[in-house]
Structure 1
Amino acid sequence: MTRTYDDARHAFAAWDVDAEAAIERLATIPISVHCWQGDDVVGFEGKSGTSGGGIQATGNHPGRARNPTELRADLEFAYRNIPGKHRLNLHAFYMDTEETPDRDEIEYRHFAPWVDWAKDQGLGLDFNPTFFAHQKADDNLTLSHPDAGIRDFWIEHGRRTREIADRMGAELGSPCINNIWVPDGYKDIPVDRMAARRRLEASLDAMLAEDRPHMRDAVESKLFGIGVEACTVGSHEFYLGYAIRRGTLLCLDMGHFHPTENIADKLSAVALSLDEILLHVSRPMRWDSDHVILQNDDILQMAQELVFADLLEKTHIGLDFFDATISRTAAWVIGVRNMQKALLRALLLPQARLKEVEARLDGTARLLLTEEARDLPFAAVWAEFCERQDVAAGQPLIAELERYQSSVAGRG
């Protein structure tokens, strides 16, 4: 224990906050790190379609991972610089195989190397079907497509991803979250939204029909995307209702709502009706852009809501951003650590006192406590947390990130 941390610990104790308890709790919170930041959402299956499903990574910074081996090496470096034990979130088109199966033909063996690696690293795995970047998604319609043959193709893809996710969960002894997001929508105003939504509902029901005990299903909404500006079939309202009716998780992605909407406000509202929630944490700028997260108000408020509403046990936290203009490994490290810092700040707030003054409608005291608490020595507690986890912080971290980026900059 450093003198700086000991002083900070006493400063928080004066506010009736236990810094040791906050450090211990933070160490138990896993973050699911998204593999697609490492290669600009390209994947490794060798197939393509003209539609990216509204997904586009901009930039051409040197060092993009070109194969599973490079991606795993980059991830290992990132995890070494992130305190705590975490998870990896894989998309279905990141298979590791010499075979070339189509999406409706994928099997567990195509992902077995990832599971073996996760075992070696002590990581849990999460999974996602990939409903974009494929010729059968070029209409920006998949599970809601009017063509039954195309729907059947994607239903089978979804069934297989659930089977793979279930095997991953069983192999690793930790339930695998299988998150379903589809790009379905219309560029111009449709006349029959109901028909599309009925098709989507029926397709989801067919995909999810079989019980899979070692995985959890999640459904993810979106406001709009490139090519589907007029209508997104899987809207927030659609998936909220579906998750409640069917007992799935609801995924709330911070980049998938109107710029003035606040995810922190949604958490307690949906938590009353859902057993579990999945969060995709990103930083939208203007419309649906996925920037590396900062310790900004949106992130801090979201973390505070998770802590103050006692939602950490029922919420699975994952990241979802992709920035090809900066070092990809640094993006992972910065993003995960900022999520952890936001959680630590929330854990170090005088929660009982804040709730007490709010309960007696003392808005002045609430504002005063909130603003004065900003001056507490959070950084000293974070530094102590990193020290105990044997992870660099400050200038040593910057030097380590720069060193690794230099080592991969020559990748073509």
Structure 2
Amino acid sequence: MRLPEHPEAPTGTSGAGTSGTDRPRVGYVLTMFPRFSETFVLNELLALEAAGTEVRVLSLRQPDDGRFHAALGDLRARVTYVTRPSRASSVWSVLASVAPDLPRLAEHLPQVLALPVEEGVAALEVAAAAVREGLTHLHAHFANSPATVARVAAALAGIGYSLTAHAKDVFHDGLDAVALQANLRQASAVVTVSDFNVRFLRELCPAAADRVVRVYNGLDLERFAFRAGPREPRTVVAVGRLVPKKGFDVLLQATALLVRTGGDPVRVRIVGSGAEEPRLRELAARLRITDRVEFCGALPQDRMKEVVASATVFAAPCVVAGDGNRDGLPTVLLEALALGTPCVATPVTGIPEAVVDGVTGRLVPEGDATALAAALLGLLDSPADRAAYAAAGRALVERDFDVRRNALLLDEVFGVPAPRAAVPA
């Protein structure tokens, strides 16, 4: 993959950057780290470290639920949490502490002052950390607030920045459109997680079109070994936060249809937690399927992996929510394919790039409980189809979603020189 140079990139380095032969030293700007639901970030960081890239995590918030995946213990990167100012005096304190490290502060102060207070303080602290640590590049996961902080911090530090755009940060109706356009336009590279997203972002921001590239979220395939052995009979599993875009209400409706067929019993396990849980439990009771559905809550990755690997079929009935929010390409769907659990999903955003209908799984229209029930029943009743989809799914994941291979593609992103000056917002 060859990435285009930023249109204003110089031939040398600037700010905290180092010479072109050095490995990049990259600061990852994240909303919250670690975050239980964002295993793709941890996977990427671990793969970058394995490839020899030095990373530093700059988190805008402290973790808030106390649950961590075991693989977090393998990460060597330092994690810094930025200040969340509670009063004006703390803002002045931050400004005084970072000013000696930021010779470009006066030049870029208008950009800082244009931000909400929390983002402005975060940008100052991230920029100072970049200078002190000798970081050569900043990279933000999500194109909204983390990218805004990274954009302004990079200008203050005199280095480049890039971002990875996912789904809720580009599709949601309530986004700050002005900030999003600035974040996309000024990034040295816009990474995104599917070809669907590449097309969407190029149309959304034509000025950044030649810098939008696809790097799939990847898996450490050594942690997700293919399982060809016996599985629990007639068991469907679904994994994700209990939020509207996951379409779990459609899965419950499909389960009720399967129960009414009167065939062999079907058991459904839903792994995850979220605001929709009371409504989903109420729906299961109303459909009289509480004896067929188990709400497992959120599970650590190793336990979740066992649940998915032991299931007959994996269901990802994703939908576009009423506020425009939708999934990009769920990591857990890739995990199911890697483990050899055949999948039934919907053609939302990038999902058809992994679940190829009739090849690596089945696709059904979003929101269609009847079609979902029929596809699930077809796989539950056909060991031959399950075996064929499982083998093809594993082959596709090995080809396109190996995190170590995909992480190497990010080296070119992180090696793009910083622009001479910030592009006006």
Q: TM-score, normalised by structure 1?
A: 0.30
Q: TM-score, normalised by structure 2?
A: 0.29
More helix by share: 1
Larger radius of gyration: 2
